[in-house]
Amino acid sequence: MNLVGTLFVVALSGCAVAAVAAVLAPPRARLRLAGWCTAGAGAVGAAAGVAAVMADGMTSGVSAGAGQRWSAWLPELLPLAGVRLAIDPLGGVFIAVTGVVAVCAAIYGIGYCSHGLDGRAFQLVLPLFVAAMLVVPAAASVSTFLLAWELMAISSLLLVLAEHRRRAAVGRAGLWYAVMTHFGLVTILIGLVAFAAGAGGESFEQLRAAALSPAAKTVVFLATLAGFASKAGIVPLHVWLPRAHPEAPSHVSALMSAAMVNMGAYGIIRIGLDLLGGGPAWWWLLVLGLGAASALFGILQAVVASDLKRLLGYSTTENLGLVLVGVGAAGFFAASRLPVPAALALAAALLHVVNHAAFKTVLFLAAGSVLHATGTRDLDALGGLRTRLPYTTAAFAVGALCASALPPGNAFVSEWLLLQSLIHALPGSGVAGAVTMPLAVAVIALSAGLAVATFVKAFGVGFLARPRSAPAERARESPPAMLGAMALAVAGCAALALAPTLVVPALGRAVGVVFPGREVVSGELTLRLTGVAGMISPLLIAVTLVAAASIVLGLVRVSATRRARRAARLWDCGAGPISARMEYTATSFAEPLERVFDDVLAPESDVDVTPMKESAYLVERVRFHARVPDRIEHRLYDPLIAAVSAVGRGARALATGSVHRYLGYGFWALTAALIVLVVTW
């Protein structure tokens, strides 16, 4: 067993130890023991992933399929099929991301869970969830993959339901999640089973070598795409995401949003690009279209959301949409025989996966810290946390800067890379490309612009200005374990933002699994694209920015004659003091955008006037109620649910409780079956 394998097995054992510790340890030590074990397991898992990416078969010049660094077949572990594992650079990227997120979430959990979440069951399931997410990218056969996938789904569902006794909304969110994730499992199951049946074997190597008819390939691709899209929170299968993320405990939200949804993208890359070996261009245009729709829809919902964690959930839909734009573009370019932009687009997609994981971890952990301190997620009731939660505010500021794709944040680098791949592909990609590429660029640009507005709102309204409610006024900073975990995630963001040149070449090796070829980028300080013109240096941008700001400050110091800064009242137009009720809220901040995108968002508002008894002209009370419903949920799912429940109600008439009647059903059913058999045989 080599380094990667050893590390991976140690990581899985660490998860097992954590699970055992959660069950056996006394309540006092349980949190610390389970938390640190899970964190250690995550760290070792991340090391395994990094080792798989760094020490790669590319150097020895072997082809992509043989580039795996470690594989194992454990026939005795499961009956019939056994467990088949293999880690290659592509899986390694996802393992590393999962591992690092797990470290942050586990350490955070030690501080976060001390009130009510320190029970055996919750602490047992968390390491199992991490272990399942580590196994999914390492699975190398259909049965292993599906098993790990289902374990991941079940354990995350249990974690989402952790607080169902406290809030009724948790149960509903869990129901949505259970239905959507199992819908996804079923379609993936259908797709992969059909694939394995066609290939005559279920290990990924056999699948890769299989020669399926184009129609069968299309069926496999579409079935698995639906399943993976539902996991990745892609429109229109995203409905579970904005419900489950706010209701889950915050470090679970971070794990789900930063690590679990990535598995959807991983599945599409692995099945579509690797195992099915590309495919016709329209597959990938479909993926690109779905990604673009998700990016726009997600960010539009995020910009009008006033629940902090719901906003972050929709932002996950947006970012995974951008990832799928990259994946779709990569597949499309590969189908149009443009290897350089294809590799570039896939590298951009992977980099965005990594970046999104980093900043979304920070943001969800900081949001959890706010929730812990104030008990509310409603941005309209927050504010003024800058003085009360200084470290959380700083962490959220970094996360928000990264998420809004501005330099010197990390998402800027991946979106830059994505745009470069789209631009450089245009001349050779035919009419379909000429129509889609500009639209894709526009979608990325619009979602970037709206992301800026979203995160200015989240940070500016939620953390700056003055508190808008009593709980926000009483907020206290979180315990050190939570702050430490946030600091770790912030450090990850900073490293990715300033030194992408260390990460992107490694991602290039992961891309090499799918598109064997040359390196994507080069350069130490400057990110230089190879094969096409284009370079940028995030580190130097940050340095010059700091230098310029310091020069400006120095100039002010030298030339200003009055050094002292006088404290004064806020300018209140001379009237009484400004109260928190006069501040702009999240809702009012988003109102102009809500108006501009009126047709898409279809906001609802109603005014309820209660007149006085004496006269209809005297008003006793006016209630104004406004909300922006999820339109897809409204239009697509509500009728569906209504139809299903109508069928259910109709079926109730059949079940009256009479035993004779049930016997009658059985008799007639048997007779009908016999008749059918006689007629058709």
Partner 1 sequence: MRLWRKIVKTGRVAEPAPLRDPDAPRPGVAAELAGSVQIRHVDAGSCNGCEVEIASAFGPVYDAERYGARLVASPRHADALLVTGPVTRNMEMALRRTHDAVAEPRLVIALGDCARNCGVFVGAYGVAGAVSDVVPVDVEVPGCPPEPEVIVAALRGLTGR
Partner 2 sequence: MSGVVGAVLQVIVIAVGSPLLVGVMRQVRARLEGRAGAGIAQPWRDLRKLMRKEAIAPHGTGWVFRAAPPLLAGTALVVAAVVPLVTTASPLDGVADLFAVTALLALGSVALALAALDTGTAFGGMGASREMTVLALVEPTILVSIFALSIRVGSTSLGSIVTATVEDPLSVISPVSVLAAVALAIVTIAETGRIPVDNPSTHLELTMIHEAMVLEYAGPDLALIEWASAMRLSVLLGLLASLFFPLGISGASTGALALLVSVIALVVKVTLMGALLAAGEVFMAKLRLFRVPELLAGSFLLALLAVAASFFLA
For 628, phi and psi rounded to 5 degrees?
A: -110, 100
Cα–Cα distances in angstroms (integers) from residue 310 to residues 235, 299, 438, 457, in the given order: 16, 11, 30, 14
What is the Cα–Cα distance from 439 to 292, expressed in whole angstroms? 9
> Which two three-digit tokens encode residue 79?
């009956």
Question: Using CB under 8 A, which residues numbered 574 to 603 contact partner 1?
Answer: 574-575
Query: Minimum Å distance from CB 348 to partner 2?
Result: 13
Helix (H, G, I), strand (E, B) or coil at 607: strand
592 binds, among partner 1, partner 2, none (CB under 5 to 8 A by kind): partner 2
Interaction between residue 561 and partner 2 (CB under 8 A): yes
Binder of partner 2 out of 448, 498, 504, 520 (CB under 8 A): 448
Tell me the window of 222-230, 479-487, 571-579, 649-657 that interacts with partner 1 (CB under 8 A). 571-579
Per-residue contact string for residues 543-562; x = within reach of partner 1 by CB under 8 A: -------------------x
| Least distance (Å) between residue 566 CB and partner 1 | 7
Q: How far is CA 126 from CA 9, 178, 180, 320, in A?
A: 18, 17, 21, 23
Min dist. Cβ of residue 175 to partner 2 (A): 35
Partner touching 574 among partner 1, partner 2, none, CB below 5 to 8 Å by kind: partner 1
Please, what is the minimum distance in Å from the beta carbon of residue 571 to partner 2? 6
Q: Which of residues 307-336 bind partner 2 (CB under 8 A)?
A: none
Per-residue mark of binding to partner 1, 508-547 (x: CB under 8 A)? ----------------------------------------
**Which listed residue (179, 578, 632, 636) binds partner 2 by CB under 8 A?**
578
Q: Contact at 8 Å (CB) between 459 and 400?
A: yes
Considering the complex, state which of residue 151 and residue 578 has its C-beta at the smaller distance from partner 1: 578
Which residues, other chains included, contact 437 with Cβ-Cβ below 8 Å and sequence gap of 6+?
422, 423, 425, 426, 429
What mask, x for binding partner 2 by CB under 8 A, covers residues 581 to 620? -xxx---xxxxxx-xx------------------------
> H or E element: which one contains 263?
helix 262-267
For residue 420, the partner it binds in partner 1, partner 2, none, with Cβ less than 5 to 8 A by kind, is: partner 2
CA–CA distances in Å: residue 406 to residues 403, 450, 456, 492: 8, 12, 12, 17
Q: Which is nearer to partner 2, 301 or 404 (CB)?
A: 404
* 626 binding partner 2? (CB under 8 A): no
Sign of the four-CA dihedral 36, 39, 44, 47: negative
Query: According to the binding rule CB under 8 A, does residue 624 interact with partner 1?
Result: no
| C-alpha to C-alpha distance for 40 and 106, rounded to whole angstroms | 9
Does residue 474 bind partner 2 (CB under 8 A)?
A: no
Binds partner 2 (CB under 8 A): choice among 77, 169, 434, 602: 434
Using CA atoms, how far residue 574 sits from 183, 570, 581, 582, in Å, is 61, 10, 17, 15
Task: Tell me which residue has tokens 């997609």.
Answer: 349
List binders of partner 2 among 387-416 (CB under 8 A).
387, 404-407, 412, 416
Give least dist CB 479 to partner 2, A: 24
| Contact positions with partner 1 (CB under 8 A) in 266-325 | none
Structural contact between residues 401 and 410, judged by C-beta atoms closer than 8 angstroms: no
CA dist., res. 106 & res. 97, Å (int): 14
What's at 72, amino acid-wise?
A: A
- How many chain residues touch partner 1 (CB under 8 A)? 9
Q: How far apart are CA 183 and CA 254, in angstroms?
A: 23
Do residues 217 and 273 lie in contact, with contact meaning Cβ atoms separated by under 8 Å? Answer: no
Q: How far is the CB of 290 from partner 2 (least distance, A)?
A: 20
Q: CB nearer to partner 1: give 470 or 567.
A: 567
660 binds partner 1 (CB under 8 A): no
193 binds, among partner 1, partner 2, none (CB under 5 to 8 A by kind): none
- The CA radius of gyration of the chain, in Å to the nearest whole number, is 27
Least distance in angstroms from the C-beta of 568 to partner 1? 6
Closest CB to partner 2 among residues 117, 422: 422
Find the binder of partner 2 among 120, 182, 466, 631 (CB under 8 A).
Answer: 466
Q: Is 566 in the site for partner 1 (CB under 8 A)?
A: yes
- CB under 5 to 8 A by kind: which of partner 1, partner 2, none does 464 bind? partner 2
Q: How far is the CB of 474 from partner 2 (least distance, A)?
A: 17
Contact with partner 2 (CB under 8 A) among 168, 470, 568, 651: 568
Per-residue HEC secondary structure of 173-198 comes to HHHHHHHHHHHHHHHHHHHHHHHHHH
Give per-residue burial for 482-508: e unless 16+ CB within 10 Å, then b.
bbbbbbbbbebbbebbbbbbebbbbbb
User: Distance from CA of residue 300 to its chain's centroid?
Assistant: 16
Q: Candidates 211, 431, 558, 568: give the one binding partner 1 (CB under 8 A).
A: 568
What's the residue count for the chain?
681
Interface residue with partner 2, options 337, 566, 621, 623 (CB under 8 A) = 566
Pairing of the two strands 535-536 and 70-74: unpaired
Report the distance separating Cα 462 and Cα 468, nearest Å.
9
- Residue 522's binding partner, choosing from partner 2, partner 1, none, with beta-carbon cut-off 5 to 8 A by kind? none
Integer Cα distance of 484 and 320 in angstroms: 27
**Which residues here bind partner 1, judged by CB under 8 A?**
562, 566, 568-569, 571-575
